[in-house]
């Protein structure tokens, strides 16, 4: 009986220790040509070999904070509460920008420089609390002489401790105001029989144009498959594209080489050329300065 009791206690302790480990998801603009990503993972593995580690992407265009913000928003809702994201797109490394951990109202954690990377997840998931990383206790030992790789020495180290349950969120560092640095962009709106939104990112493999006009906002136009939409795309105040585009549920609904509007996998309005490249054909790019208007 005593042995059975001790056995169950041991199982409970082991399970509890394992259960404290949360998934850790990495995003950077480092690429995979050198050892930077492996260094970050090595820091985490040294803290706890039981932390499950995954890659969101390491192909964010260099210094593109906006795209980092978008990829977090695109991906994070599909991960469970407690997941820790490390996003390092940090052109201001070593400057006065803060190193923070955001806890969202959904229970996700984001470890990153506060440089605009949190713009979209803060809006989408809500801010529960923001804490500044206290580097006096949450920095890799003997790394103080390094000023250019906070991704390894501060962010991966802090995220690893948090994911492993070695520190609580409160032990990350001092609490900040419930706000983060944000990048301005056009929110999806409907007015005067027109929807307007942002072109946050391209479906880069195919050159499709993804907007942030969600299904609910788009539905106010009362569009049916086959309806032709009047589409104008701007970079700032410059009109880059204007044309009529039929709305379809699938690419196959239009002939090869023809344009279409559709709802993408995130149920946001998008534009494509069937078996072609809309972006290249019309010189349309993406970012916070790009906007689109759509009407019937």
pLDDT tens digits in sequence order for the chain, 296 residues long: 555 544 454 444 444 444 467 999 999 999 999 999 999 999 999 999 999 999 999 999 999 999 999 999 999 999 999 999 999 999 988 788 999 999 999 999 999 999 999 999 999 999 999 999 999 999 888 877 787 789 899 999 999 999 999 999 999 999 999 999 999 999 999 999 999 999 999 999 999 999 999 999 999 999 999 999 999 999 999 999 999 999 999 999 999 999 999 999 999 999 999 999 999 999 999 999 999 999 99
Give phi and psi for 250, each to the nearest 5.
-140, 160
* Residue 108, pLDDT score: 98
Q: How far apart are CA 293 and CA 231, in angstroms?
A: 6
Give which of 130, 128, 276 is closest to 206, Cα–Cα.
Answer: 276
- The third-level CATH classification (topology) of the domain covering 189-295 is Elongation Factor Tu (Ef-tu); domain 3 (2.40.30)
Which residues in 181-191 are b (16+ Cβ under 10 Å) and which e?
bbbebbebebe
* Residue 216, pLDDT score: 97
Give which of 24, 128, 127 is closest to 79, Cα–Cα.
Answer: 24
Domain positions in the chain are: 2-172, 189-295
Give which of 172, 173, 216, 174 is closest to 197, Cα–Cα.
Answer: 216
Which tokens belong to 8? 């169950």
Q: How far apart are CA 35 and CA 170, in angstroms?
A: 32
Which tokens belong to 13? 């302790």
Q: Is the CATH code 3.40.50.740 the one for domain 2-172?
A: no
* Residue 1, pLDDT score: 53
């Amino acid at each position: 009986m005593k042995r059975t009791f001790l056995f169950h206690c041991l199982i409970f302790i082991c399970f509890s220790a394992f259960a404290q480990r949360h998934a850790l998801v990495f995003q950077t603009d480092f690429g995979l040509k050198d050892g930077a990503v492996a260094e970050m993972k090595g820091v985490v593995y040294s803290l706890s070999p039981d932390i499950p580690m995954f890659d969101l992407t390491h192909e964010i265009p260099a210094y593109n904070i906006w795209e980092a913000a978008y990829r977090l928003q695109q991906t994070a809702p599909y991960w469970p509460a407690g997941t820790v994201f490390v996003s390092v797109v940090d052109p201001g490394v070593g400057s006065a920008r803060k190193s923070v951990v955001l806890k969202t109202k959904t229970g996700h954690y984001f470890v990153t420089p506060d440089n605009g990377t949190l713009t979209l997840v803060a809006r989408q998931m809500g801010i529960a609390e923001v804490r500044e990383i206290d580097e006096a206790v949450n920095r890799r030992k003997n790394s103080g002489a390094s000023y250019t790789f906070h991704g390894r020495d501060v962010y991966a180290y802090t995220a690893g401790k948090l994911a492993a349950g070695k520190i609580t969120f409160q032990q990350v560092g001092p609490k900040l105001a419930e706000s983060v640095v944000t990048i301005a962009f056009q929110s999806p709106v409907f007015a005067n029989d027109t929807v307007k939104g942002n072109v946050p990112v391209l479906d880069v493999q195919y050159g499709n144009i993804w907007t942030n006009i969600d299904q609910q906002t788009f539905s106010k136009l009362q569009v049916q498959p086959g309806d032709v939409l009047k589409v104008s795309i701007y970079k700032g105040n410059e009109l880059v594209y204007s044309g009529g585009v039929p709305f379809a549920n699938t690419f196959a609904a239009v002939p090869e080489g023809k344009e279409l509007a559709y709802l993408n996998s995130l149920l946001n309005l998008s534009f494509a050329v069937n078996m072609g490249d809309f972006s290249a054909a019309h010189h349309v790019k993406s970012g916070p300065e790009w906007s689109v208007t759509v009407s019937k």
